[in-house]
Structure 1
Amino acid sequence: MSKKTIVWFRQDLRVADNPALNEAAERGDVLPILIVDETDQDMALRGTARAVWLHHSLLALDKKLGGHLQVFAGDPEQILLAVAAENGADAVFWNRCYTPHRIIADKQIKQFLSERDLAARSFNGSLLWEPWQVLKKDKTPYKVFTPFYKKGCLSAQAPRATVAAPSDISFVGEASDQSMIDGLELLPRHDWAAKMMADWQPGEQGAREAWAQFADNGLMGYKNGRNFPAKANVSRLSPHLAFGEISPHQIWAALEHQPQNEDVAHFRSELAWREFSAYLLYHFPTLPFENFNSKFDQMPWQIDQTALEKWQRGQTGIPIVDAGMRELWQTGYMHNRVRMIVASFLTKNLGVDWREGAKWFEHCLVDADYANNRASWQWVAGSGADAAPYFRVFNPVLQAEKFDPLGAYIRTFVPEIAELPNKFLGKPFEAPAQVLADAGLELGIAYPHPIVDLKQSRNRALAAYQTMRGQDMVEPA
């Protein structure tokens, strides 16, 4: 009699390079399942952009699995036990997750299953290097990216080889329709997501096409072009990586077939930043909600709900900030350079706690990876590991002039100021009355006045940091 294995899908919604699936297929019959566990931070999806993505990604995965994917919502322990008993399965395989909640839960589930004579095995399907394998000579974790990557990762064992999709999978039971996926009710009752999803193709095939598009059209010139939001030098692979529709191992291996130049090297380092975020969260599990640098516990964050809501809606009166926040709301995505700009504006110009920004991003982003998001917000705020210096306050006007010089990005998402000349597009509040009139723009009516003075708010931020640190602040030359 063939052995039956449950393959528990989580952040690995693909068939190729899926170690758990491959091991199960070699062992015997396969029963693929996914469980939405709302007690898990990574699966608390209701009402978010990620929930919409997950719905479509599950449809794509189910199609790849010939309609055999079963989906559930609830307690994983009880669901796994019940499914195993109902189908005569004697093992449960899954690919590891690295958030604190899942590490604890997975250990408990392994013990729970083992005590009931069910084999439980986990595999690495989502990280190039296991977090416990990359340590300093004194066996402590790295806190700075460059030595983590160059001394830790690149000198460690090379990432594992990719594995092809199983050539033939023998499934347990009969195929079913998509009603189980619909039953999860991941889609909103009011279809606000239709426009957002128009430019995305969730699923493994969509991930492959996104990689091919980037490799052909965006990788060359990536190192510099990635900073310009109107250029095509971004991969848009982040949601596919977040849901495991493509593995970092597949991308790492594909890069070996590209010309080995500064663009490829820089893209590899960006993959390593993803690793670094997961690594930090593994070794420092309070990272998502506590300041990595405890000095920031004394930071006098402002409580300004009105300002926060204007930032969320893209109504700050600062065009590059508003363009980014509107791109986020409309598309479920934001260009990485702009993410830094809007985060700096919220935490430094508005003085709002970085955790508020992190929560909004997790609500709106289709690629909201818990580790990446929280580590990145701390980095910009200055409280994180290897963080941007406390005195680094992005000037959004200068950022717009440097990285959106022709205004293509701002005009796309802030069309009400599109008729302004490039000189004033990033700073309509400095435009002469006649220039505003010629553009048909009345500030305070069609587009808001700035909700904060950039220079004054920057000085307030520096003063707050100085007070927090208890010493004089010296800016870099």
Structure 2
Amino acid sequence: MTTICWFRRVLRLDDHPALVAAAADGAVIPLVVLDPEEAAAHPASAERQALSLRPLDDELRARGSRLTVRRGDPRDVLAAVVAETGASAVHTTAGFPFAGDDGLPEAVAAAGAALHLHPTADLVPRGSVRTGAGGTFKVYSPFFKALRQVPVASPLPAPALRAPGSWPATEPADWPEARRAMDRGWEVVAAAAEPGEARAARRLADFLDGAVADYPEHRDQPSRPGTSGLSDALAVGEISARRIWHEALPAWRAGAPGVETFLSELAWREFARDLLHESPGLGVRCWRPEWERFAWDGDGPVAELWRRGETGVDIVDAGMRELFATGRMHNRVRMITASYLTKHLLTDWRVGLAWFERTLTDWDPASNAMNWQWVAGCGPDASPYFRIFNPDTQAAKFDARGAYRRYWLDAAADGARRFAAAAPRSWRVEHSPRPAPVVELAAGRSRALAAYEDLRAG
């Protein structure tokens, strides 16, 4: 038999349950579908996936296989490839948390094949970590404690692949809709990427051999290479959470410094996925319903200044420039920029969530939604609503020498030049001096606290 394995945000051969099942069924046609609607909604994430296609094809060809790339609505593409190849089955990963599966089984069945949806290689299946009462954890610390008691399945090795009698036609490993949406930023963001399964594995090995020992201290310092740098590889599926967990587990059991803190961050991602699974509206509605009454401002000129890195607050603007030029932002700075938008500027968290959704190469809908609600104070296990990061204090603590801010803000620095090359010409970055602050920090804090009191009183 001939089967199709749709590589759906699982752009690897290692620990790929759908690929293992497809290989057990017969000859395998590896397929990637580039959906124009996805590119329009998440262009930076789409670009990052597109960059991974050539390394994935190289890995497949080394095993006597090859990648087929098609563009279009996934339902139409799957039906067409089934009809062209006579495939009896399509194996792929279930769409959660990135997309739904509506209409896919019917489209594949109408073409004469069966669709098999497989779980992602997360640490544990959704619903495996429960409170004593059988519910979903709403607070992270007890969730992590309970997760540690649940066995994490071993990663699946890459299977041997049999080639079909003939290969279907393929299209270029590019995503034109994403390239157009990224405009000048495509090449700049591409230069910051390290795509491919093999590179992700090397980054993990190098991190566990070195930087993890100082992870608890250095992970909050944006000018240091103190993190694993694997968030984008995880998001596009070049490496699995299970693979990371099991590679780090021996060092954790041996008491190596930094490993538990690192794995707790991986578990935070798992926590977010459990919450999104339980509350599908997490990216749309405040998890705490009373916060829907909060007097946040909507999108507008102030939010646009935040998006462009023109708030006049150095650490915030540096972070927003890093985001636009690389598709990523240091996690500590993400918290600072999000707090500034939702608290000092009193702008709705959904405005920030939407911008991150468009610009992050490591975009993950569960983590994005939960983290924005956590910072805004309206979500599960949220940062106390009255906690307002002071950006200047945070910068003094975590960027004490100003290296990160200078890199992204000083006109002659490499980071500032990269941002200027990526930004739309209409932003006129090359001719813009540093702006005055949109709001004085003390005044912004006072205004936010007054709004919180109004919410409590109302």
TM-score using structure 1 length: 0.85
Task: Tell me, in whole angstroms, the C-alpha distance in 2 between the residues paired with 1:118 and 1:346.
Answer: 49
Give structure 2 stretches of 5+ with no counterpart. Answer: 414-430
Q: Corresponding residue for 1:154? A: 148
Against the structure 1 CA distance between its residues 304 and 49, is the aligned structure 2 distance closer, same or farther, given a 3 Å change threshold?
A: closer
Confirm or deny that 1:125 pairs with 2:126: no
Confirm or deny that 1:54 pairs with 2:54: no
C-alpha contact (below 8 Å) 1:92/1:118 kept by paired residues: yes
Instruction: Map residues 265-304 of structure 1 onto 2, 5 A cutoff.
Output: 265-303=260-298
Instruction: Map residues 392-407 of structure 1 onto 2, 5 A cutoff.
Output: 392-407=387-402
C-alpha contact (below 8 Å) 2:340/2:389 kept by paired residues: yes
Q: Corresponding residue for 1:430? A: none
Task: Tell me, in whole angstroms, the C-alpha distance in 1 between the residues paired with 2:52 and 2:433.
Answer: 39
Task: Tell me, in whole angstroms, the C-alpha distance in 1 between the residues paired with 2:83 and 2:352.
Answer: 44
Confirm or deny that 1:200 pairs with 2:198: no
Q: 1:388 aligns with which of 373, 383, 391?
A: 383
Deviations 1:268-293 (A, max 9, x none): 11001111111111110010110001
Structure 1 position 70, deviation (Å): 2.0
Confirm or deny that 1:12 pairs with 2:10: yes
Q: Corresponding residue for 2:457? A: 470
Confirm or deny that 1:368 pairs with 2:363: yes
Q: Corresponding residue for 1:359? A: 354
Task: Tell me, in whole angstroms, the C-alpha distance in 2 between the residues paired with 1:7 and 1:33.
Answer: 6
C-alpha contact (below 8 Å) 2:18/2:92 kept by paired residues: yes
Q: Corresponding residue for 1:88? A: 86
Deviations 1:123-167 (A, max 9, x none): 23331111122222322211111122212x2222x1111122123
C-alpha contact (below 8 Å) 2:109/2:115 kept by paired residues: yes
Q: Corresponding residue for 1:308? A: 303
C-alpha contact (below 8 Å) 1:54/1:186 kept by paired residues: no
Paired residues, number: 435
Confirm or deny that 1:446 pairs with 2:457: no
Q: Corresponding residue for 1:138? A: 133
C-alpha contact (below 8 Å) 1:142/1:148 kept by paired residues: yes
C-alpha contact (below 8 Å) 1:416/1:446 kept by paired residues: no
Of 445-454 and 324-333, more deviation after overlay is shown by: 445-454
Task: Tell me, in whole angstroms, the C-alpha distance in 1 between the residues paired with 2:82 and 2:311.
Answer: 54
Against the structure 1 CA distance between its residues 199 and 416, is the aligned structure 2 distance closer, same or farther, given a 3 Å change threshold?
A: closer
C-alpha contact (below 8 Å) 1:381/1:390 kept by paired residues: yes
Please list every run of at least 4 consecutive aligned residues from structure 1 whose deviation after the TM superposition is greater than 4 angstroms. 44-47, 111-117
Structure 1 position 414, deviation (Å): 1.3
C-alpha contact (below 8 Å) 2:42/2:358 kept by paired residues: yes
Q: Corresponding residue for 2:208? A: 215
Q: Corresponding residue for 1:461? A: 448
Confirm or deny that 1:336 pairs with 2:319: no
Structure 1 position 218, deviation (Å): 1.7
TM-score using structure 2 length: 0.88
Q: Which has the larger radius of gyration?
A: 1
C-alpha contact (below 8 Å) 1:71/1:180 kept by paired residues: yes
Task: Tell me, in whole angstroms, the C-alpha distance in 1 between the residues paired with 2:262 and 2:94.
Answer: 24
Structure 1 position 101, deviation (Å): 4.5
Q: Corresponding residue for 1:32? A: 30
The residue type paired with residue 379 of structure 2 is G
C-alpha contact (below 8 Å) 2:18/2:117 kept by paired residues: yes
Structure 1 position 382, deviation (Å): 0.4
Name the SS for the 1:376 alignment partner.
Answer: helix
Confirm or deny that 1:350 pairs with 2:345: yes
Q: CA RMSD in A?
A: 2.4
Structure 1 position 174, deviation (Å): 3.3
Structure 1 position 51, deviation (Å): 2.2
Q: Corresponding residue for 1:182? A: 174
Of 26-35 and 208-217, more deviation after overlay is shown by: 208-217
Structure 1 position 109, deviation (Å): 3.0
Task: Tell me, in whole angstroms, the C-alpha distance in 2 between the residues paired with 1:313 and 1:216.
Answer: 37
Name the SS for the 2:117 alignment partner.
Answer: strand
Task: Tell me, in whole angstroms, the C-alpha distance in 1 between the residues paired with 2:412 and 2:344.
Answer: 22
C-alpha contact (below 8 Å) 2:76/2:107 kept by paired residues: no
C-alpha contact (below 8 Å) 1:25/1:170 kept by paired residues: no
